[in-house]
Amino acid sequence: MAELTATPVLPPVRRFSMFARTVGGVAAIGVKELRGRMRGRRAFIILTIYLLLLGGFALMVEKIVEANYQFGFGGVQAQASPAIGQAIFTALLMLMTLQVVFLAPSSTAGAISLEREKQTLELLVTTPISSLAIVIGKLLSALIYVFLLIAASVPLMAAVFVFGGVAPEDVIRGYVVLIVTAIGLGSFGLLCSSVVKRTTAATAITIFGVLAISIGTIFVLAFWQAMASFDQNGNRRPGPLGIRAPTPVAWINPFMAQADVLCGIGSDASFGGMWCSLISGLVPSNDGVIVTDGGPVPIPGPILQPVPAVPEKGVLQFGRGIAAADVAAVPPQPFGVPRDGLWTRSVALWLGLSALFLILSVQAVSPTRRWRLRRGRRTTPSVGP
Amino acid sequence: MTDIVRTEGLVKRYDGTLAVAGVDLVVQQGEIFGLVGPNGAGKTTTLRILATLLEPSAGTAEIAGLSVTRNPDQVRRVLGFMPDAFGVYDDMKVWEYLDFFARCYAIPPAARRRVIGDLLELVDLADKREAYVQTLSRGMQQRLCLAHALVHDPQVLLLDEPASGLDPRARVELRELLRELRSMGKTILISSHILPELEELCTSVAIVDRGQVLAQGRVAEIERRLRFGAVLRVRLLLEGADLESARDRFAGDPDVASAALLEDGTIELGFRGDDAASARLLAASVAAGLPIVSFARAASDLEELFLQVTSGDREPVATASEGAPRWPS
């Protein structure tokens, strides 16, 4: 039998190499996960099918819009090409958002709890690998497939430039929201996985959370909207719940963020305008003016936008509201649609939430260095007796 | 020899229950140290504290001079841990499994390849290198898990019930493997309730029950210290009333706690003296003219000692004057 090496194989421990050690740990977990996940043809067959479906979907959207214009439903035929581009962009972006919103958290929801159930977590935490490296490694290796799907869609998405109507910045905005959403909801799934012991329960809680984020928030906004009332001038009046829902309710919804991106592609086309009106309907920004005894008071708010003195007629647009004429003192915006009001905040919120979720996950994974929630009574460690 | 594992007053409380109630252990370098006790005695909790998986409620634990609570990162580098229940990753080959743990210990790539080859040789899995881990037998998985605990060449190995669930052949192989590891200078802490195995394997044992160490030391020494309840079996060339009077004669000896006449005519003595005392008793009996056919100490092994020490409701026959174990109160 072979002798073990007599010389120590471990590199000396250095204080300043904490970062390098974390990166090494993340790499170790990543290599392990990807070896299991990407073995054989399965992953690549799934990717191929996914791209075929996505491409077929884009083609169908193109045909539908084209047909509409052919029979004169969409408007002037000369505008058909940008409309097709915008339609494909809208369809692909929303479809991919839907996919990310469900795929990212469900792929992380078992990351830690499965290790716990298979009794491999203890082997892992008794190595010098840090809990932070375990959490980050698990997140990245679970998300890497989601990122792969996103990256694989880029050439398909580039087809919108053939038709026009969508600027490269719009596409970049859309992808930024997609990636941040994947990280944010992936971290959420990971937190559920590390706090809840069983994978089935962790997955269920994650899915409920995702539904609350994507559908529940819309419901809350719509309910608030319904509770508000308008005076005879069309000004929003405070209802029993106040004048409007807290805007963070909208930021947390990735679909609202994407709607904001789509709103930005241009007000002239029906597709952009549709999303703008959806947002201004659900998230009244600066449009409403509270009429008090002292006169009109503009509502300060995070989505405050410069408002043009004279709104365009006939089109209801995000940021140009019902009562915009009342706020004549505000200087007019020179050109373009007011944009980036919502998705930037959504991205910032989700990056913050991701960091919070990951910190909590690290605490839940770490066997001994857990925060004491209550003094005097020690919490039961996650890897129990 | 130096102490490589040392615990002092180790206490672990779970909500309301006391799993470990003041365990003091001293393990010297190069030993195979057995932690013996019934299920729920606190063996696993003690090992988990040493493996930095649990924080003790009180007391200290050190491995190679490093506190497991203050320097868990350094401690993890000098110890290899094999839990009693462990899983293996699906969809992973044997060499990849070891490669993963070698990466966790930041072993450079060239050394990693060499260590994986050496370890697979050591645990006799070299021909299974490309096999998937889940296709291995239980014994092979156990050896693979042991190999994983060795990738970083640790000084101390903590093995929690390593022989459980193994067939006799796999047990023999495991035992040989542990002996070989000891010859490489590793200190091995092993918990088990399968006593004959520990008896053959271990250099020292600690008998644990209800979270306390009842006895600790070299196997032979513990046997000697605890043999206050030994049983002497005496066969005489007598019958009937003579046999009964002989029994009464034995019962009168100050070192004999009890004397019973068995159905086959053997007299069984509960004896509290040491070997010298039993020699004296034999000499006195022969001198008194008793026709003794055989006079023997009933075979006493670790298992018997263990039952004797850990049975809570049974008092020892007598308390030895020196080295008396601390009984659970």
Tokens at residue B270, please?
A: 């509960």
Complex-level ipTM: 0.71
Distance of residue B85 Cα from the nearest chain A Cα, in angstroms: 7
**Which 3 state secondary structure label does DSSP give B33?**
strand
B135/A219 Cα distance (integer angstroms)? 50
pLDDT in tens, A148-169: 999 999 999 998 898 888 888 8
* Residue given tokens 């802490």 in the structure block: B189
Which pLDDT band holds residue A335 (cuts at 50, 70, 90)?
A: very low
Q: Residue A123 is nearest to which of B106, B148, B150, comparing CB atoms?
A: B148
Report the C-alpha gap between B259 and B231 in whole angstroms: 10
* Alpha-carbon distance B282 to nearest alpha carbon in chain A (angstroms): 52
- Contact status, residue A137 vs residue A26, Cβ threshold 8 Å: yes
Best mean pLDDT range from A295-299, A335-339, B52-56: B52-56
Judged by CB atoms closer than 8 Å, whether chains meet at B91 and A2 is answered as no
Q: Kindly write down the DSSP assignment for every residue of B261-309, as one continuous string.
A: E-TTSEEEEEE-S-HHHHHHHHHHHHHTT--EEEEEEPP--HHHHHHHH
Which residue does chain B place closest to A25, by CA atoms?
B104
Q: Does residue A376 surpass a pLDDT of 50?
A: no
Residue A13: per-residue pLDDT? 52
**pLDDT for B300 beyond 70:** no
Percent of chain B predicted with pLDDT > 90: 16
Among B53, B91, B119, whose Cβ lies nearest the Cβ of A36? B91
Could you report the per-residue pLDDT of B218-236, keeping only the tens digit for each?
877 776 666 556 678 888 8
Task: Using DSSP bridges, classify how beta strands A236-237 and A229-230 pair: parallel, antiparallel or unpaired.
Answer: antiparallel
Tokens of A209: 């959370």
Q: What's the CA gap between B73 and A317, in Å, rounded?
A: 58
> Does B114 sit within 8 Å of A5, measured CB to CB?
yes
Using CB atoms, pick whichever of B13, B54, B121 lies closest to residue A1.
B121
Residue B129 clears pLDDT 80, i.e. is over it = yes
The pLDDT-based confidence of B325 (bands split at 50, 70, 90) is: very low
Chain B environment of A365 (Cβ under 8 Å): none
Say if residue A138's pLDDT is above 90. yes
Quick one: pLDDT at residue A293?
42
Measured in whole angstroms, the distance separating CA A260 from the mean position of its chain's CA atoms is: 12
Residue B79 carries which side chain, given as an amino acid letter? L
Q: What is the mean pLDDT of chain A?
A: 76
Tell which wins on pLDDT, A333 or A251: A251
Out of B92, B124, B152, closest to residue A36 by CB: B92
pLDDT above 60 for A36: yes
- Across the range B51-57, mean pLDDT stands at 89
Most confident of A146-150, A182-186, B40-44, B186-190: A182-186
Give the pLDDT confidence score for residue B192 in this predicted structure.
83
pLDDT at residue number B323? 37
Q: What is the DSSP letter of B34?
A: E
Q: What is the DSSP string of A159-178?
A: THHHH-SS-HHHHHHHHHHH
Q: Which residues of B touch A119 (CB under 8 A)?
A: 83, 85-87
pLDDT at position A19 is 81
Contact A288, A321 (CB under 8 A): yes
Across all residues in chain B, what is the average pLDDT? 82
pLDDT digits (tens, 9 = 90+) for B171-200: 888 888 888 889 988 999 998 876 666 777
Q: Which residue has the higher pLDDT, A231 or A327?
A: A231
Q: What is the largest CA-CA distance in chain A?
A: 93
Helix (H) or strand (E) holding A291: strand A289-292
In the predicted structure, residue B125 carries a pLDDT above the cut 60: yes
Helix boundaries (H) for chain A: 18-37, 42-70, 80-108, 111-117, 121-125, 131-152, 154-157, 160-163, 168-195, 199-211, 217-227, 248-251, 254-263, 270-282, 343-365
Say whether pLDDT at A212 is over 90: yes
pLDDT digits (tens, 9 = 90+) for B20-33: 888 888 898 888 99
Beta-carbon-side half-sphere exposure of residue A168 (alpha carbons within 13 Å): 1
Mean pLDDT (whole number) for A344-371 = 87
Mean pLDDT within B234-256: 85
Q: A153 versus B17: which is more confidently predicted?
A: A153
pLDDT at A378 > cutoff 70? no
